């Protein structure tokens, strides 16, 4: 796994830092103390979603009180309610957990939790709490934490992906590996929701896949090893860390025209803007010019959510339309305007028919029916409704004739009581005693009467 790499901090032990600060003035020394110092400890970043509270508690509980690294945690939570995760993690382990604050200095032996509805980002020596664009339909999102940690601390970062749905954290774990960090993933068979760990394993060359109870002891051993000596990767990461992250300030690619990929035919579910398609290895991503980012899986989930919202809105509008038409019909009847009332009633029936179709899409499920079959049935029903509302005749149901020779009539059937039709002398069909003959005789008399009236007119 490459965890025994040594690292000698530049300028440590040679007195260079002391010589430079000895001749500096008091204001400059105070400014230097205020500037973030390069960390000489590891940074642990952990991402979790559904099922993540239990997994996080089991990872944190075995860590020792003198844990010589800083831990950052992102858990997908509701943006409106308060978060009790710091209290839960503090009780589960022996390390104090607090909500991250913007500009707070990073201290080892602490757990920093992303507050609700805010991204948690890591800069050299301090943290940033930002209300930037959502990523993967979440805020806080895991990818921005992993991405900024990798850019700020490079090979000193350990990224951990725990239980959760969809694939948030996969792209960020790619950045952790790209800058020389270590990638740990919970075993999907051990996770309550295996989608996030499975996506990370499929797309990233992870270092270890472990049951959740083995991650904490491994972290406790890992942070006590010498820091890696890959100074080039660290310098490259620090260079990119100076740039503002997209989760911090959004996206200005429309102004700079620095678009990373071709525009797609899809629109952002969050803001409605155009989405650009980005290919990163096997992972397909989309980002709009505002800054909202999605993987393909999270984009499909967001589209499904917006589609359901649109259908519920359509159902509400159709039912309100039907209710308003019936109210107007009742008022018209009070004024003896029957024609107008009838017109309102017909409009209400059409709105109720369409509302029923939308409701069937939302709530009705036929056992054993696949989604494709359900969609086809809904489309056929909608087409029939359009035809009937346009005045077209309803399609007749075809009678299926069983194969083989025709069966003889049932003696007890009413068909045996009908008399056969015969040709009478006056040209009319049917006997005088049969019902069919009487009907045809009356029809012939009516036709002769009409012909007589025409001849008299001439």
CA 264 to the chain's CA centroid: 18
Positive or negative torsion for Cα 254, 256, 261, 262: positive
Q: How far is CA 21 from CA 8, 18, 30, in A?
A: 21, 5, 11
Ordered alpha helix ranges (H), 335-370: 338-363
Which candidate, 287, 361, 269, 288, places its Cα nearest to that of 318? 361
Rounded to whole angstroms, how far apart are CA atoms 280 and 343?
Answer: 58
Other residues' Cβ atoms within 10 Å of the Cβ of residue 12: 11
Q: Indicate which residues carry an active-site annotation.
A: 49, 76, 168
**Residue 136: left (phi > 0), alpha (psi -120 to 50), or beta?**
left
For the record, the structure tokens of 320 come out as: 């309100």
Ordered alpha helix ranges (H), 63-211: 85-92, 142-153, 170-178, 195-203
Gyration radius of the chain over CA positions: 37
Contact 149, 72 (CB under 8 A): yes
């Amino acid at each position: 796994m490459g965890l025994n790499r040594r690292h000698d901090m530049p300028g440590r032990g040679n007195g260079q830092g002391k010589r430079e600060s000895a001749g500096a003035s008091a204001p400059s020394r105070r400014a230097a103390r205020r500037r973030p110092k390069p960390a000489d400890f590891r940074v642990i970043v952990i991402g979790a979603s559904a099922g993540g509270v239990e997994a996080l508690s089991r990872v944190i509980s075995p860590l020792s009180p003198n844990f010589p690294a800083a831990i950052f945690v992102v858990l997908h939570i509701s943006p409106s309610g308060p978060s009790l995760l710091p209290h839960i993690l503090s009780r589960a382990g022996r390390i104090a957990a607090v909500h991250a604050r913007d500009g707070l200095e990073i201290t080892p032996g602490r757990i920093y939790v992303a507050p609700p509805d805010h991204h948690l980002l890591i800069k050299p020596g301090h943290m940033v709490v930002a209300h930037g664009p959502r990523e993967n339909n979440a805020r806080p999102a895991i990818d921005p934490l992993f991405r900024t940690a990798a850019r700020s601390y490079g090979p000193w970062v350990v990224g951990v992906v725990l239980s959760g749905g969809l694939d948030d954290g996969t792209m960020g774990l790619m950045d952790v590996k790209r800058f020389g960090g270590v990638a740990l993933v919970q075993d999907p068979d051990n996770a309550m929701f295996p989608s996030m760990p499975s996506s990370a394993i499929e797309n990233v060359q992870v270092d270890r896949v472990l049951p959740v109870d083995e991650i904490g002891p491994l972290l406790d051993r890992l942070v006590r090893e010498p820091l890696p000596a890959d100074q080039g990767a660290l310098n490259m990461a620090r260079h990119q860390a100076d740039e503002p992250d997209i989760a911090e300030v959004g996206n200005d690619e429309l102004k700079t025209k620095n678009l990373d990929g071709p525009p797609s035919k899809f629109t952002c579910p969050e803001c409605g803007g155009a989405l650009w398609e980005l290919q990163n290895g096997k992972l397909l991503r989309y980002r709009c010019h505002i800054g909202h980012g999605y993987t393909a899986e999270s984009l499909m989930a967001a589209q499904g959510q917006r589609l359901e919202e649109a259908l519920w809105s359509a159902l509400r509008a159709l039912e309100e339309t039907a209710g308003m038409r019936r109210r107007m019909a009742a008022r018209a009847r009070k004024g003896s305007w029957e024609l107008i009332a009838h017109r309102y009633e017909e409009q209400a029936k059409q709105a109720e028919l369409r509302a029923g179709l939308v409701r069937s899409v939302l709530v009705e499920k036929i056992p054993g029916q696949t989604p494709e079959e359900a969609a086809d049935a809904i489309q056929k029903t909608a087409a029939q409704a359009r035809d009937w509302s346009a005045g077209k005749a309803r399609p007749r149901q075809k009678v299926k004739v069983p194969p083989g020779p025709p069966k003889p009539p049932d003696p007890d059937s009413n068909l045996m009581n009908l008399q056969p039709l015969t040709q009478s002398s006056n040209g009319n069909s049917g006997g005088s005693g049969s019902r069919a003959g009487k009907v045809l005789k009356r029809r012939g008399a009516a036709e002769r009467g009409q012909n007589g009236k025409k001849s008299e007119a001439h």
